[in-house]
Structure 1
């Protein structure tokens, strides 16, 4: 399970997800008493490797909610009606196991703008089914939908109307403070010798969280390559070599 503490930086994003997801699921009585409805859907967007999936998993853990994860492309079926049936099943299951979070990764693959391309009948029907479920007669009692995309510009606009994906959160590339946090998380438990983590913050500018994870892994492997069963530490040199090999996936 992933917790907030496993994700470096992104303080504001975590705060927004707490308010939009964790609080309504954990304290439904308070929301009823104050007569405020929590959002039905949250859209996370930003470059790949910046932690959208991790954030969705963490908010499910922290909300003590069941987590149902779906990759958009997995739902697309060439059989007529199968894709919509898939969406209906997901929502039906989520209602049964509420409080729950449905996480659609790569939502742009199942909900691009309608009427844009030929052969897009399947995705048109899927968008319609998704909207039906979110607006549905059957209320989404303690079910929240989180979706992630790298391409918010190609999403069907109907999804972004009030009462659907009400909360739109950008997951940016990690800033200095976040990179330091992420470096600390991934070097925790790693025996370091002569390594000052602060010195790695500048050279990792432009790195995603996933890039930083790859960097620390590569540094560890460098140490193992040199000493194999005699390896005791990961050194500054190991990180220096790793930085030459692991580049920002955004450049």
Structure 2
């Protein structure tokens, strides 16, 4: 006031003005009360402006968030593609860029990145360029020759490598690095792959066509089938191929014994997904958090979580460029309200692989292994009826361990065994022995899943499920 006109800027205001009912200490309450009285006293003096900044708006005491104190709330969101390009241009203004550097491509790839993230991208790319010429620089002299300085050029590869390593700030708490999984790494399941490509990749790659034809991509997809058939791998491949951000949630992670915490967790996941769109939210084991309501469960936590999920999926806030993929091996116990169009639009059965798919899976999991000439992939695929993709991966690993055991037992000494590594081969007998240890799905289990898929797949299936829920209630 003595130096008016003045601006008071309070950074991280949530740390000095938290909700009074949530703090235990008396000091925090007095600080909030003092801040409120000072801001009320300033209303007549128009020459002092208070600006507060926070990234936890809901943690601030609500008494501060009313006209007369903080009159306006301005949300500074995550920049769009054009905004990201502008920020990159600012941070690379003085950098020696190679001619082929296209900042537009980098901007399109950096979904969910904020200004600080993009600054880090530019800085790290510059450091990579500097690292290449560092051996030529004499660190004992103060001046660096101009011919060496001219060699410091930031390339497109520098940016592409860096962008894979830097996580968007908005997703740092829940960010899961998407493994380098492509569609080629998944054997068989061509129909399921096609459905996922249409739902996830096409709206991003062919956005203009979707707008022109007024096509609405599905909002949610439920992958169901026996354990180990590749449901989780499918979701990861979809995220990798579409270059979308990926949030992975295990069902039980969201459940909390504190009232309101589970629903808050669901809200936070969707808020972060909207900020970092295009984004895939993957709910693994969704049956743990969304079982059919009214089945006599003692806890009402799951009922509140389901209600929150339904609100997020078709609430007032539009889920733009956010797709929900869920996986379960118990689709029959999932609440029917989630399984209608507009929520989980597509219900995709992921079956155990047929013989052709098993051949592909065996080839994927043995491509880098030293196989003996007597190993016949076709024969192995024929002998593994009922095995899932995970079973075949475990089978290949078990066969390798058996071959290693034989090799190590033969040579005993580690150095000799290492020198004779060229002799190490995986034989057909190793696979056959591994098969005796790893058991496939029983015919009864396969039939059960087949019956469920027929129930979900036929016309009017959703209505039947809703009727079933009504009967339970």
**TM-score, shorter chain, exceeding 0.5:** yes
Deviations 1:191-214 (A, max 9, x none): 111211111011110001100001
* Residue aligned with 1:165, SS: coil
User: What does 1:72-87 align with in structure 2 at a 5 Å threshold?
Assistant: 72-87=251-266
- Pairing 1:9–2:201 present: no
| Structure 2 residue corresponding to 1:40, chosen from 202, 215, 219 | 219
| Structure 2 residue corresponding to 1:223, chosen from 403, 409, 426 | 403
Q: Which shows bigger deviation, 44-53 or 20-29?
A: 20-29
Alpha-carbon contact 1:215-1:239 (below 8 Å) kept: yes
Q: Distance in 2 between matches of 1:120 and 1:14?
A: 37
* Residue aligned with 2:395, SS: helix
Alpha-carbon contact 1:26-1:64 (below 8 Å) kept: no
Q: Which residue of 1 aligns with 2:438?
A: 246
- Deviation for aligned residue 1:81: 0.3
Alpha-carbon contact 1:110-1:126 (below 8 Å) kept: yes
* Residue aligned with 2:346, SS: strand
- Deviation for aligned residue 1:164: 0.5
Q: Distance in 1 between matches of 2:245 and 2:229?
A: 23
- Deviation for aligned residue 1:15: 0.8
Q: Which runs of 5+ in 2 are unaligned?
A: 1-179, 409-416, 444-473
- Pairing 1:155–2:347 present: no
- Deviation for aligned residue 1:95: 0.7
Q: Which residue of 2 aligns with 1:124?
A: 303
Q: Distance in 2 between matches of 1:221 and 1:118?
A: 45
Q: Distance in 2 between matches of 1:26 and 1:136?
A: 26
Alpha-carbon contact 1:103-1:146 (below 8 Å) kept: yes
Equivalenced residue count is 251
| Structure 2 residue corresponding to 1:207, chosen from 361, 379, 387 | 387
The runs of at least 4 consecutive aligned structure 1 residues that moved more than 4 Å come to none
- Deviation for aligned residue 1:114: 1.2
The higher relative CO (CA closer than 8 Å, separation ≥ 6) is in 1
Structure with greater strand share of residues? 1
Q: Distance in 2 between matches of 1:78 and 1:106?
A: 19
TM-score (ref. length: structure 1):
0.97
Q: Which residue of 1 aligns with 2:349?
A: 170
Q: Which residue of 2 aligns with 1:31?
A: 210
CA RMSD of the aligned region, Å?
1.1
Q: Which residue of 2 aligns with 1:145?
A: 324
Decide which structure has the larger Cα Rg and report it. 2
